[in-house]
Structure 1
Amino acid sequence: MFHSFFPKPKLFFTSLIVWTLVCIFLWYGFVADWGASIGYAPIPEDQMPIDLRFFLTPDNRFFYAYFFVCTVLFGGVWNYIARDHPWIDWSIWGSALILFCTYFGVQVYVAINNWRRPFGDLLQNALTGKPGVTVWDFYSLQLIFCQIVFLSMFVSILTDFFVSHYVFRWRTAMNDYYMSQWERVRHIEGASQRVQEDTMRFANILEGLGVSLINSVMTLIAFLPILFALSSYVTELPVIGPIAHSLFWLAIGWSAFGTLLLAFAGIKLPGLHFRNQRVEAAYRKELVYGEDHADRAQPITVVELFSNVRRNYFRMYWHYLYFNVARYFYIQADALFVTFMLVPTIVAGKITYGIYQQIATAFGQVSNSFQYLVNSWTTIIELLSIHKRLKAFEAAIDNLPLPDIDQRYLKGQNEEEVNPAQP
C-alpha cells in the first residue's frame, strides 16, 4: 500500500515526522525571531490588513521562504537516497505541494477571521444606532470578503484537481505492484476485488482523509496562537472559574472528550466492516460462478451465503445505533459549548460582537482540528477494514503467514459461516 508509492515508507515517514518537528521547533525557537530582527516582523493586530495584502505581509513572506528551504532540503536528500524509485517525483514533491496549498488554504480562514472583527463591530454599531455608519462601510467590507473568497476558490479548485491526480498515481502504483506479484496473491480469497476495488477505495478514502488530516494540523499551527491571544478577553468560565489561556484548554479538553467517546463507542465497527466485505465477496463470487456453471449458485447455497450477509448487516445496524447516539449527542452539544462557556464574559460586557465572532471562529477551527477523529471516524472505520484486506496481499508477497481472519476463513473455522442457522 505504501512502499509501492513512497520510497522506504517506514524510514520516509519517520524522517518526515522528525524533520517536521525540527522545523517547527526551529521556527518558534529561533527562526521567527531572527526574521523579525531583519525586517520581517509580524504586523501588530490593530494594523493587520484584512484584504489580500494579508497574504503578503513580511512575516508571511518569510514563512513561505522558510517552508521552501525546508522542503528542498528534505526532498533533495530523499531524491538522492531513492533516485531509482519510479514514483519519487509524485510522492515527495507532490506531497510538498499539497502541504503548501493546504497551509495557504488555512491562511484564507485566518484572513476571514481577521475580517470578522471589523465587520461584526460595524454591524453592532449599525444595529445600536451609533452615528457615522454608512452604506459604503458595509459594501467595502463585503467587497474585501469577496476578494478573499474568490482567491480561496481558485486555490481550492486547483488543489483538488492536483490531489485527484496525485491519489490516482498512488492507486496506479499499488495496482502495478500487486499485478507484478499476481502469482503470489491470486490464491487469496477475492484477490481480483482487492486489486481492483480495494485499491480504488483505499485511494479515494485517503484523498479525503489525508487532506483533512493535513488541513487539521495546519489549522492548529495557524489558529492556536490566535486562540491564545483571544483568551485574554475570557477571564472566567462557568463552573470552572478563572483559568489562564482558557480557550486553548477548553478546545483541547472538549475535543479529547469527543474523540475518546466515539473511539470507545465505535471500537467494534472496523472488524464488522471487514467481515462485511468478506461475506459480500463470498456471495458475489458464488453468483458469478453461477453465471457459467449450472451446478453453482444453487438455492440452498445462495440462501446460506445471503444469510451471512444479512446477519452481519443486522449486527452493524445495532452497533451503529449506539455509536450514532454518542456521535449525535456530541455534535449537538458541540454547537452550544463555546457559547455556554462565554456567557459570563458576554454578560459582563467584556467583548464586542466582532470579538465574539473571532472567538467563535477560532475556537471552532481549533476544536474541529482536534476533533479530526470525531469527524472522520466512520470513514476511518472503512479505511481500516480495507487495510485489513490488503494486508493479506502484503503477507503473501512477503511470504509471511496470512492474518488470523484470513487463516480462519481458509481453514473453515468461522462458526457463523459453517453454521448459518445460528441466530
Structure 2
Amino acid sequence: MFHSFFPKPKLFFGSAVLWTAVAMAAWYLFADDWGRTLSIGGLFGFGFPVPLPEGADEATVAAFNTAERIAIDIWVYQYMLICGAIFCAFWARAAPHKWFRWSVIGSAVIIFVTWFQVQVDVMINEWFGRFYDMVQQALDEAGSVQPSAFYVEIATFAGIAMVAITVAVVTHFLASHYVFRWRTAMNDYYVDHWQRLRHIEGAAQRVQEDTMRFAAIVESLGVRFIDSVMTLIAFLPILWGLSSFVKVLPIVGEVPQALVFVAIIWSAFGTALLALAGIRLPGLEFRNQRVEAAYRKELVFGEDHAGRAQPPELSDLFSNVRRNYFRIYLNYLYFNVARYAYLQAGVLVPYVALAPTILTAGFTLGVMQQIIRAFGRVESSFQFLVNSWTTIVELISIYKRLKAFEATLDDEPLSDIEREVVPAE
C-alpha cells in the first residue's frame, strides 16, 4: 500500500515528522531572525521596514507593525520552501524511487498549499474582527462610519475570498492527480504479483476498487489531518491571546486561558464518546465487503456458466448481505445518536463559555466574532477523529482487505477475520 508509492515508508514518514520538528524548533529559536538578511521579499516590495526612531506617532507605528508582519509572513513561506527543498533533495539522493516526483515532492507541495490556506483563514478571522467592530460602531451612532470605509472592508473580504477559492480549486486538481498516481502505483505493484494474489477471496475487487478507495481516503484524511495540525499551530496562539477577554466560566469559575481549556476538554470528551460508540463498526464494514464480494462473484460466474448463480444459492448469499447490513444499521443507530447529539451540543459550547463575559459587556461584537471563529477552528482541529470517524472506519476496512495482499507477498498467515467462514442463513 505504501511501499509501492513512497521510498522506504517507515523511514520516510518518520523522517518527515522529525524534520518538521527540527524545522519548527529552528524557526522559533533563531531562523525567524534571519529574515532581515536572507528574505528576498524586498525584491517584490515586501521587505522588512527600517526600524522606527523613538517617539514615532501612533499611525507610523501601526504602519510599521503591518509592514513587518507582512515581511515575516513572506519569510515564513520562503523558509518552508527551503526546508521542503532540503527534505526532497535528501530523499532523492538517499532512496531514488519511481514515484518520487509525486510521493515526495507532491506531498511537500500539498503541505505547503494547506499551510497557505490556513493563513488565508487567519486573515479572514482578522477581517471578521474589524468588520463587526465597524458594524457595532455604525449601529451605535448613525453616520459614524463612512460608506466608503464600509465598502472597502467588503471589497477586502472579496479579495481574500477570491484567493481562497483559487487556491482551493488548484489544490483539489493537484490532489486528484496525486490520488490517481498513488492508485496507479498500487495497481502496478499488485498486478506484477497477480499470480500469487489471485487466489485470495475477492482479489479482483481488491485490486480494482479497494486500491482506488484506499488512495482517495488516505489522501483526504491526510490533507485534513495536516490541515488540523496547521490550524492548531495558527489558531491556538490566537485563541490563547483572545482568552484574555474571558476570565470566568459558568459553574467552573475563574480558569486561566479558559477558552483553550474548554476546547481541549470538550474535544477529548467527544473523541472518547464516539470511539466507544463506534468500536464495532470497522469489523462490520470488513465483513460487509466479504459478503458483498461473495454475492457478486457468484453472479459473475452465472454470466458464463448456466449451472451457477441458481436461486437457492443466490438467496443464501444475499441473506448474508442482508444480515450484515442490518447489523451495520443497528450499530450506526446508536453511533449516530451519540455523534449528532455531541455535534449539536457543540454549537452552544462557546456561547455558554462566553455567557458571563457577554452579560458583563466584557468585549466588543468584533472580538466575540473572532473568539467564536477561532474557538471553532481549534475545536474542529482537536475533533479530527470525531469528524472523520465514519471515514476512518471505512479506511480500516479497506486496509484490512489490502493487508491480506501484503501478508501473502511476505509469506505471512492471513488474519483471523480473513479465515472466518461466512455462515449461511
Specify the TM-score bucket, using the shorter chain as the normaliser.
Answer: over 0.9
Return the match for 1:62 from 75, 85, 93.
75
Give the 3-state SS of the residue equivalent to 1:404 in structure 2. Answer: coil
| 1:5-404 correspondence to structure 2 within 5 Å | 5-32=5-32, 35=35, 47=62, 57-83=70-96, 85-404=97-416
How much has 1:366 moved relative to structure 2?
0.7
How much has 1:240 moved relative to structure 2?
1.4
Distance 2:320 2:69 in 1: 60
2:247–2:255 CA contact under 8 A, matched in 1? yes
TM-score by length of 1: 0.92
How much has 1:8 moved relative to structure 2?
0.4
1:178–1:195 CA contact under 8 A, matched in 2? yes
**Residue 411 of structure 1: aligned partner:** none
RMSD: 2.2
Question: Would the alpha carbon gap of residues 12 and 143 (structure 1) be closer, same or farther in structure 2, given more than 3 Å must change?
Answer: same
1:396–1:402 CA contact under 8 A, matched in 2? yes
How much has 1:407 moved relative to structure 2?
2.2
How much has 1:294 moved relative to structure 2?
1.4
Report the AA paired with residue 248 of structure 1: V
Report the AA paired with residue 74 of structure 1: F
How much has 1:139 moved relative to structure 2?
0.9
How much has 1:128 moved relative to structure 2?
2.2
**Residue 3 of structure 1: aligned partner:** 3
TM-score by length of 2: 0.92
How much has 1:131 moved relative to structure 2?
4.3
1:252–1:370 CA contact under 8 A, matched in 2? yes
Report the AA paired with residue 123 of structure 1: V
Distance 1:253 1:172 in 2: 42
How much has 1:74 moved relative to structure 2?
1.4
Question: Would the alpha carbon gap of residues 48 and 397 (structure 1) be closer, same or farther in structure 2, given more than 3 Å must change?
Answer: farther
**Residue 44 of structure 2: aligned partner:** none
Deviation readout 1:151-187 (Å, 9 max, x if unpaired)? 1111111111111101100000000000011111010
Q: Which stretch shifts more, 20-29 or 274-283?
A: 20-29
Distance 1:243 1:279 in 2: 53
Gaps of 5+ in 2: 39-46, 50-57
Give the 3-state SS of the residue equivalent to 2:387 in structure 1. Answer: helix
Report the AA paired with residue 204 of structure 1: A
Distance 1:132 1:37 in 2: 44
Report the AA paired with residue 192 of structure 2: S
Report the AA paired with residue 147 of structure 1: G
Q: Which stretch shifts more, 56-65 or 260-269?
A: 56-65
1:117–1:358 CA contact under 8 A, matched in 2? yes
1:126–1:133 CA contact under 8 A, matched in 2? yes
How much has 1:18 moved relative to structure 2?
1.3
Deviation readout 1:203-229 (Å, 9 max, x if unpaired)? 222232121111111111111111111
Question: Would the alpha carbon gap of residues 49 and 276 (structure 1) be closer, same or farther in structure 2, given more than 3 Å must change?
Answer: farther
Gaps of 5+ in 1: 409-413
How much has 1:419 moved relative to structure 2?
3.9
Report the AA paired with residue 178 of structure 1: Y
Q: Percent identity?
A: 56
Distance 1:32 1:267 in 2: 44
Report the AA paired with residue 79 of structure 1: A
Deviation readout 1:338-391 (Å, 9 max, x if unpaired)? 011000011111100000000001010111011111111101110110000000
Question: Would the alpha carbon gap of residues 55 and 94 (structure 1) be closer, same or farther in structure 2, given more than 3 Å must change?
Answer: farther
Q: Which stretch shifts more, 275-284 or 29-38?
A: 29-38
